[in-house]
Structure 1
Amino acid sequence: MILARAQAPAAAEDPAETAAVKQVRRGYLGRDWSGCAQDGAALRAKYPDSARLQAWTILCDARAGGDALAQAEAMLAERPDDPWALFARAGALLDHPSRGKQEAIPAARAAMAALDEHPDAVWQLGRALIVHAPRVETLQFFGERGGATPDLLALELAFLIQSSEATEAQVLELAAKTRAADPTNVDADYAAAVWLMNRRRADQAGPLLVRALEHSPHATALHTQLWEALLQASDPAATGDGKATAVEAPLVRERDDDADPSPSWEALLQASRRGPEARRATLDAAVASLLRARPDSPGALKAAADVYETLAPELHAKYEAELLERFPDSRTAERLRNEQIYRLTRARHERQTKNTPDPAADALLAERIDTLLRERPPTLPPLRAELYMERYFLLKDDPKAAPELLLSTVQAWVEVEQRNFHILADAALALAERTPYKREAEAVLRRTMTQAEAMLREDRAQGFPQEIVDENANWFEGQLSSALGSVLLAQGRRDEAREPFARVQALTKKSPDAMVRLAAFAEAEGRIADAELLLVEGLALWRGEKSCEEALRGLYRRQHGSERGYARHRARLEDGARAQRRAQVLATALAEPKPLPPFSLPRLGDEELRSEALRGRVAVLNLWTTWCTPCVSEMPALQQLADAYAKDPDVAILTINAEPRTDELAAWLAEHEFDLEVLLGARWATDNGYNTLPTTLFLDREGQVVFSHEGASERLVEEFTWRIEALRDKNSPTRRPQVERPASG
């Protein structure tokens, strides 16, 4: 009987065998997956009949990126009546990139039943639910079983930190409860540290990570988090108040194993704050320690490469090359190859931005993508989707691209895409407009719409904030329905196109792409004035200037036979729409202004500024980072606005940089020739929920937030000026700056 087999071995277990199982299991739960996979393989030679040891070794291999499912299937074939074989298969499915979503939870339930609800099997079902089930189902599981064991407490903590609504008190309380139940539990500290790191609190996370490493000294995940915490916290400005928080740190302690002695967090932080050389020496020692302990771990090599990306590019390249040479078939290598492609595509984007095309570099990039897809296609669907998407971008910009190549790329892409459906819709439309494959384009687009609807349903089931899901639904509806209407229009099916375009027209927010497609439909129906109004409205949307300008110019040319008089025509259209747009902008004022969360933030390279110092003036606070593309794109206009108000005592234009590390920020600003006033407030931004970038706050003289604008602005100078002038005190002296209006021709 299966249940009897699950229970019987416990009484006759060899203590040494039990210790072996505990060692591998402890390595898994300590996030040292590469280490426990190696340890398990070695221990299985001593205890070949231990099914539980074999099962936990397979779970370790699954997290380490090995072919765990094949091992589990072989174990099940060899031990068809052993419930631990079911446990191994469930664990392998849980982390399987394509089969996990559909099969992991049923497999985990079957293993739990076969093992008579053994604690290991209950824990595994909980993890399967966290990874693959709707949030409400996982909440029910923890409501019924939470806290039964220290491992379940740690699992519940890992689940809690995924919630955007989790509070610091909840996270730290559950972490303390887990630690009290099992002082050696790694996730009691690691999960809480991750939550703190995500909120720019490296100074608080660091001691927890050091303590976690006391219990799992070779876990790559713990080391990489500690290195990042060290880099963040050694930049005092990035903590938000310019000071490190006083925390209780673990003391240096010698070990009985082969791990290096662990310095306390305070010792690490003090060493790294002595200067760049000391910081580099601290990291060098930490990286060397990990590589000594895990010389055969692809993950350890990847971690070493990542930490040196900006600190030491030569070491970054060395470790990446070693990883690809020694572990070419690992999933870590798969991800690295995609990252290398991404770097090339990013360089291509920069060339496009600077208008310095390099056809030879583009051809080389296309060849590398094609070779990778042909010879080493990633096993993970999202990685393959990234490659097909980048291949599409290259084909889109190549007027000589073969229609058959565009078709095969888009059809292969739709098979594996999971989130970038708006770009896939653009690709389907390009296929319909540029090739004979119009029906195939429609099929791709309709499948894309079905997949997008499934994604949104899953987001709702996972408990994502309703406003975020609704905003995403609005975005995808606009992009996909307008693309469908345009694909139908390209086939001459105008009557059928009317329904998807009507859905788009009813949306409150539309993208520039949707406006262009709506305008094309209006033109097809002879509604030229409507088409012009749509395009003029689109001009003021973020990234609308280029696409809507091109469409408006083309419409004028088709109506008048040339572009003569176009500039005046566009100016008249914009003048007519400006008053309405101004009213719409000012109507976004909060019905009940909110006080600005107080701050005391260091200026870049200068003393601190307190929020109280802004009282009595109208203030504009723009939150940004250097890696936020829309933020950077709108900064020249923000600089223009700041210059216009530079001598106005009634107005303050400031920016708040939200990056956790700011040591290279001054050089970046100098390189881009920006002299905006920059406050350093990564923690302040996250603590107060400013997670969308860019975000711009407009304060009245009492320090109340009256306008809050999320996202970049195509007409920043004009629309920000409207808000600023609306906030001026009518009774105070004003000197309105002369702001140059952007050219409209």
Structure 2
Amino acid sequence: MSPRSPRRALWLGLLLACGACGVGGAAPDYTAEELEAAKAQLRDHARLRTFEAGLPFGEEWVARVPDDAELRALYARQLAGWGLFRELHAQADRILSEDEDDPWGLYVRALAYLAEREYSAASEPSLGAWEASPRPEFLAAHIESIRGRGAEHLLALFSTLDSATLAAPEVLAIRAEIEFQARYELGDPTWADSSLASYAELRARWPDHVDGYLRPAENLFMANRPEEALPLVERTLALAPGSADARSLHWRILAGSSLLSAEQRRPAVEAGMAEFVDAAPETVRGLYAMAEAYRRLGDGMKAAELETRVVERAPHSLRATLISQNEYQEAGDTMVRLYREEGRDSPAFLAQLEVVRDAVDRYLARPIYADRYRASAYTILFEALNSMDPVPAEPLAEAVRGFATYERAHPVNAFGIGAAAMVDHTPYAREAAEIARSGLQTVVDAVAMDRHLFRTEGEFEEQLRFQLSRVYDAMGWGYFKAGRIEDGRHVLERALALEGRNREARYHLGQVYEHFADESEKSGDAEAAVEWLDRAEDSYIAGLGSARVGENPSQAAIEALYERRNGSRNGIEDYLATLDERDQIRRRERILESRVEAVGTYEPFRLPRLDGSLVDSADLEGRIGVLHFWGTWCGPCIVEMPEYQKFDLRYRDDPDVRVVSISNDASREVVEEYFARNGFDFQVLMDDGYVQRAGIGGWPTTWFVDRDGYVQFVKVGNTSKLDEEFSWRVEAIREAADGH
């Protein structure tokens, strides 16, 4: 139901009955019938996606009837077709200033956020519009806003809708899109067929609605099925010859597939352009679409002519901004190509860095439609500046500030990599640390937006920990460099607690430990200095082991540390050759020292396998037991699963050892699907509340139990070299029992 009061509704009815009388009683220049016809025509433009003609038509009618919320919303749909989110917000402001709960205004606000790709922000207004007035277009906007929740969730939502709502063209179209999304998210190709069937239903029910033709055509073309896509686009063009959306896809198919010979492509595209010019008014959107087509044909000169017309006609427009981006994006593409082909020290690559810098500077000095279009410019500028030798400090600092201000698609790059570079190359370490700290929630939000892409909660958590670790590393390194030594140490240790394979954090923490060694030497505490240097060495060795790919800062650091401790580089080659062995020895010593001092028994259990058969803890009596608690929702658990599979295989046929995995997942199906996808086959028991009774407080947790049922070792948290380190614990228990 509409939120308007009966009195307000009566007032609006009287206003419409008198022809929307103007100020001072001036007679309107339209009739009620003409207004309804205008609304119908705007709906037709949306249905046909002829936004080039719909936008000026809507502008004319909104100027004539400024207080009709429905008319403004129908005009806003044309703006949405252009992607003009600033103008959409202005229309929403106008409607909602009269009534903050007006469903048309809420719908337009949602359209604005969707055009801006701020999907979570669009959820509330779109839901409010749908609840106030259950119109199909409101529901479609809401479903679009929550696509991040995943196809499975959305498909369940469709099952709750009545048949009339499901048959609406807007809902049919979005359902087909979700089914197409499910094909990839759920790994089931049959959903692509379901999507095509839904589009076929849309065409059957609404044969004059272009979404039934255009959207499946685009999906088919993306799936490399142009021969099936082309007839659908041609049907669209018969309905809407003046649609730039339909023309653009048609030109992409003609120019980018093997349906035509190379000689036939340009004449075919240009023939379509001539038809488009005849069918639609000239707009910057249409000119931009034709320029893109010429670029695909390889005619940069013709494309540039059309782009110049766009910029001259509307220098502050969205299309002018997109055109202005081309220069620095092409320069950036060349930079990446030269790096891959010739390396970072090649003269061509180094010269291209200045080309990128100049192109970005020119872009940022021009009118820009909205701040979000600054993000990629600062990203490319940062990459260029950070590759220079020497790195220019002030320009880099400005680039990182802009990078962090505007980047939202991949914020870990700004708040992690960018902030760390600012620490390394500028005098603004403290500011860089604060930039990193300010981005923590942004990173969490960005990863959460892609939650539906992860198969399990564990995989989602793994990615979240990975990205947060990079940001904590930049923050801790900045604090250390700014003189907040203890803060830096604790934050870097936090980075490694989140992700032990973070080699930059390993290097940075090693530098912190060397600082403590310096302080100990100054105070005359030689023993403490040696301990700190040992810790630095361990950190560098772990950093080398975490990723021996590409440049690794721990390599130079450990060589410098060797020279520091030995007074020269004599013998360094032999030392470096034994690093893995030294790392192994130290890790084993620490593990054996971690044996539980006050050993005790554990809570007995009787738990089901995946097949339902029961396993009793009494079966472990007389054997060495390994009880491993995990779940697919646990990121650190997921990280170590391949190593756990190796460990299980090592002892699977050992009659003296029993390895038991206990999953805390909600259902067997979740575990079975995870196993099938990853090829795991170790034995799993399903928790029935046992982990709570047993007092498990961290994930993963592993108990190592002797033959008498006493827990000798407890490991909480994941292990990068699980097979090796778990085996040391098992063999230590075996040796102790055998009297060795």
TM-score range, shorter chain: 0.5 to 0.7
Q: 1:160 to 1:585 in 2, by over 3 A?
A: closer
Q: Which has the higher helix share?
A: 2
Q: Which residue of 2 aligns with 1:179?
A: 203
Q: Which residue of 1 aligns with 2:716?
A: none
Q: Which residue of 2 aligns with 1:256?
A: none
Q: 1:347 to 1:567 in 2, by over 3 A?
A: farther
Please state if 1:410 is matched with 2:400. yes
Please state if 1:329 is matched with 2:337. no
Q: Which residue of 2 aligns with 1:68?
A: 87
Separation in 1 of the partners of 2:17 and 2:114? 28
Offset from partner CA, 1:131-154 (integer Å, 9 cap, x none): 357537866764444505222222
Q: Which residue of 2 aligns with 1:419?
A: 409
Q: Which residue of 1 aligns with 2:658?
A: none
Contact 1:2 1:81 survives alignment (8 Å): no
Separation in 2 of the partners of 1:396 and 1:56? 47
Q: CA deviation at 1:440?
A: 1.5
Q: CA deviation at 1:572?
A: 5.1
Q: Which moved more, 1:474-483 or 1:559-568?
A: 559-568
Q: 1:522 to 1:81 in 2, by over 3 A?
A: closer
Partner of 2:49, secondary structure, is: coil
Separation in 2 of the partners of 1:481 and 1:502? 9
Q: CA deviation at 1:72?
A: 1.7
Q: CA deviation at 1:445?
A: 0.7
Separation in 2 of the partners of 1:402 and 1:356? 19
Contact 1:31 1:219 survives alignment (8 Å): yes
Q: Which residue of 1 aligns with 2:172?
A: 153
Q: How does 1:499-538 map to 2 (within 5 A)?
A: 499-506=490-497, 510=501, 512-521=503-512, 523=514, 525-526=532-533, 527-538=535-546
Separation in 1 of the partners of 2:288 and 2:296? 14
Question: Structure 2: which 5+ residue stretches go unaligned?
Answer: 1-6, 20-30, 516-531, 585-639, 649-678, 680-740
Separation in 2 of the partners of 1:454 and 1:276? 46
Q: Which amino acid aligns with 1:372?
A: Y
Please state if 1:453 is matched with 2:413. no
Partner of 2:333, secondary structure, is: helix
Offset from partner CA, 1:156-184 (integer Å, 9 cap, x none): 22343334237123212222222222122
Q: 1:392 to 1:570 in 2, by over 3 A?
A: same
Offset from partner CA, 1:501-529 (integer Å, 9 cap, x none): 44544567735544544554565531354
Q: Which residue of 2 aligns with 1:282?
A: 268
Separation in 2 of the partners of 1:49 and 1:436? 56
Q: Which residue of 1 aligns with 2:608?
A: none
Separation in 1 of the partners of 2:167 and 2:359? 52
Q: 1:522 to 1:54 in 2, by over 3 A?
A: same
Contact 1:36 1:60 survives alignment (8 Å): yes
Q: Which amino acid aligns with 2:204?
A: A
Q: 1:553 to 1:394 in 2, by over 3 A?
A: farther
Q: Which residue of 1 aligns with 2:620?
A: none
Please state if 1:389 is matched with 2:379. yes
Please state if 1:347 is matched with 2:338. no
Q: Which residue of 2 aligns with 1:228?
A: 252
Separation in 2 of the partners of 1:332 and 1:465? 40
Partner of 1:301, secondary structure, is: helix
1:117 to 130, 133, 137: 133
Contact 2:129 2:138 survives alignment (8 Å): no
Separation in 1 of the partners of 2:309 and 2:8? 47
Q: Which residue of 2 aligns with 1:305?
A: 291
Q: Which residue of 2 aligns with 1:484?
A: 475
- More contact order relative to length (CA 8 Å, sep ≥ 6): 1
Q: Which moved more, 1:530-539 or 1:18-27?
A: 530-539
Contact 1:504 1:510 survives alignment (8 Å): no
Q: CA deviation at 1:444?
A: 0.6
Partner of 1:161, secondary structure, is: helix
Q: Which amino acid aligns with 1:345?
A: G
Q: Which amino acid aligns with 1:149?
A: A
Q: CA deviation at 1:3?
A: 4.2
Q: CA deviation at 1:552?
A: 5.0
Separation in 2 of the partners of 1:11 and 1:590? 81
Q: Which residue of 2 aligns with 1:135?
A: 149
Q: Which amino acid aligns with 2:170?
A: D
Q: Which amino acid aligns with 1:331?
A: L
2:302 to 302, 308, 315: 315
Please state if 1:430 is matched with 2:421. yes
Separation in 1 of the partners of 2:357 and 2:229? 42
CA-based RMSD of the aligned residues comes to 4.4
Contact 1:535 1:548 survives alignment (8 Å): yes
Q: Which moved more, 1:565-574 or 1:530-539?
A: 565-574
Separation in 2 of the partners of 1:99 and 1:185? 27
Q: CA deviation at 1:411?
A: 3.0
Q: CA deviation at 1:127?
A: 0.8
1:202 to 220, 223, 226: 226
Q: Which amino acid aligns with 1:385?
A: A
Q: Which residue of 2 aligns with 1:338?
A: 325
Contact 1:65 1:330 survives alignment (8 Å): no
Separation in 2 of the partners of 1:190 and 1:6? 38
Offset from partner CA, 1:74-115 (integer Å, 9 cap, x none): 75389669958636743653446398753x4444455556xx
1:18 to 29, 36, 46: 36
2:57 to 29, 39, 57: 39
1:162 to 162, 177, 181: 181
Q: Which residue of 2 aligns with 1:644?
A: none
Q: Which amino acid aligns with 1:302?
A: Y
Separation in 2 of the partners of 1:55 and 1:133? 23
Q: 1:545 to 1:488 in 2, by over 3 A?
A: same
Q: CA deviation at 1:39?
A: 3.1
Contact 1:304 1:319 survives alignment (8 Å): yes
Partner of 2:346, secondary structure, is: coil
Q: CA deviation at 1:155?
A: 2.7
Please state if 1:214 is matched with 2:233. no
Partner of 2:412, secondary structure, is: helix
Contact 2:54 2:78 survives alignment (8 Å): yes
Separation in 1 of the partners of 2:644 and 2:233? 44
TM-score w.r.t. length of structure 2: 0.63
Q: CA deviation at 1:418?
A: 1.0
Q: CA deviation at 1:393?
A: 2.8
TM-score w.r.t. length of structure 1: 0.62
Q: 1:227 to 1:576 in 2, by over 3 A?
A: farther
Identical-pair percentage: 21
Partner of 2:181, secondary structure, is: coil
Q: Which moved more, 1:528-537 or 1:410-419?
A: 528-537
Q: Which residue of 1 aligns with 2:109?
A: 90
Contact 1:6 1:83 survives alignment (8 Å): no
Q: 1:574 to 1:5 in 2, by over 3 A?
A: farther
Q: Which amino acid aligns with 1:417?
A: E
Aligned residues: 545
